[in-house]
Amino acid sequence: MLIGRRILLIISGGIAAYKSLDLIRRMRERGAEVRCVLTRGGAEFITPLAVSALSGNPVYQELFSLTEENEMGHIELARWPDMVAVAPASADIMARMAQGRADDLATAVLLATNEPVLLAPAMNAAMWDSPATQHNIATLEGRGCLRVGPGTGDLACGEVGEGRMAEVADIVACVDDWFGANGPLTGRRALVTSGPTFEPIDPVRYIANRSSGRQGHAIARALARLGAEVDLISGPVALPDPPGLRVTHVETAQQMLDAAQSCLPVDVAVCAAAVADWRVENALGEKLKKTDGLPPSLSLTPNPDILADLSRRSNHRPALVVGFAAETSDLRTHAQAKLAAKGCDWIAANDVSEGSGTFGGDSNAILLLTRDGTEECWPRMTKDEVGERLAERIAAHLREAS
């Protein structure tokens, strides 16, 4: 999966440029953020408007554009991606790459980047077979460039031979395989719970909380970005399912526990869901009616404790169990008590008091406590950044423990 990956796509001149539009769409479907550099040759075949519409980002074209340099200069653009893909890679752009030229934005970025570069060559068969092109390809591959294609078949010029740009699915698979083989959590399985639970009172009313699920979903995306195979169990939220993850939708705590148990065994479990502590003991099958204006008497019973269940399992216990503590006061004291009571390995405590902006907001501040006594106080940052930091911390822990 390409969840959270940043791909810079350079589109050079050639009729195969039309395939790049589908390539953008396919990579975004798999969770990647895509930015594009369109060369002057590429713009002869497809428009900047089409590229921008499909990528959801501005299109970069000119090396000395004052607007683009002010927003993102070519050096920053070279450092932004996790991978640079050149598709189509014309004979001309590969020749200029081999020579180390930087006379337009595309080649300047390629010369400045330290990230992996994937080439998808596309040209006439005679141009591909040319000793000059073969020398340039050998030079680029010797410098570490990756290559997919070209394929053999009918060419735009009417000839038949080798030179067709690789199919979009093959390019995406190549990108996917590269990240999958290089992620620190590759081969690991992760379980993440997210969002609130709804505990029914009757068919109309329920007990719930203000959790939006943004933090749990961000953690799931971050773990997948590092190569993990992720099961996300989500309570009712107004968020789209992250692409590429196995997502199970539930409402109640019991349903969430059943779904979590069905995912075992996993290497790591992150219980980020704000599970309701209680449920109505005997939820009604019909709408509860007013009786003489008096409020009803509801009998509550404890919900199953998902974090404790995963932490104390005699079989299939995850190697690492991380819980969340949403508190409104005495953050450290309550977090330490929860860490001891639940038997988990780590507790990520956050302040959800009124005015903190955590529940329903886009940012979070974490106090991370571990069973071995380590304590980390993370500053307020976006929930995506919290997810990335936690995922990297998890990857480092599993690597050290193995």
pLDDT tens digits for 215-238?
999 999 889 888 899 999 999 999
Answer for the pair 216, 191: CB distance below 8 angstroms, yes or no.
no
For residues 346 and 324, what is the distance between their CA atoms, to the nearest angstrom? 8
Paired tokens of 335: 């977090």
In order, the DSSP letters of 332-355 are: HHHHHHHHHHH--SEEEEEE-STT
List phi, psi (to 5°) of 305.
-100, 100
Whether residue 161 is predicted with pLDDT greater than 80 in this model: the reply is: no
CATH architecture of 189-401: 3-Layer(aba) Sandwich (3.40)
Residue entry with tokens 């822990």: 397
What is the pLDDT, as a whole number, of residue 190? 97
Provide the total of helices (H) and of strands (E) in the chain, helices listed first: 14, 22
For residue 72, give the nearest of 37, 96, 116, 107 by alpha carbon.
37
CATH topology match: 6-182 vs 189-401: yes
Range of weakest confidence among 36-50, 110-124, 265-279, 281-295: 281-295
Q: Residue 158's pLDDT band (boundaries 50, 70, 90)?
A: low
The topology (CATH level 3) of 6-182 is Rossmann fold (3.40.50)
Domain extent listing, the chain: 6-182, 189-401
Alpha carbon distances (Å) from 355 to 11, 215, 274: 47, 18, 18
Q: Residue 154's pLDDT band (boundaries 50, 70, 90)?
A: low
Q: Determine if the pTM surpasses 0.85.
A: no
Whether residue 70 is predicted with pLDDT greater than 60 in this model: the reply is: no
Residue 73, sorted as left (phi over 0), alpha (psi -120 to 50) or beta, turns out to be: beta
Range of weakest confidence among 64-78, 190-204, 303-317: 64-78
Q: Residue 66's pLDDT band (boundaries 50, 70, 90)?
A: very low
Query: What is the number of other CB atoms lying within 10 angstroms of the CB of residue 6?
Result: 16
Give the mean pLDDT of the chain. Answer: 89
Alpha carbon distances (Å) from 268 to 112, 375, 395: 38, 20, 10
The residues annotated as belonging to the active site are 157
In order, the DSSP letters of 241-272 are: PPTTSEEEE--SHHHHHHHHHHH-S-SEEEE-
For residues 387 and 303, what is the distance between their CA atoms, to the nearest angstrom? 27
Is 204 strand, coil or helix?
A: coil
**pLDDT tens sequence across 333-358:** 999 999 999 999 999 999 877 666 67
**pLDDT tens sequence across 112-128:** 999 999 999 999 888 99
Range of weakest confidence among 54-63, 138-147, 278-287, 289-298: 289-298
Please calculate the CA angle 118-246-335 and round it to the nearest 5 degrees.
Answer: 105
For residue 52, give the nearest of 78, 72, 24 by alpha carbon.
24
Alpha-carbon dihedral sign for residues 352, 355, 361, 363:
negative
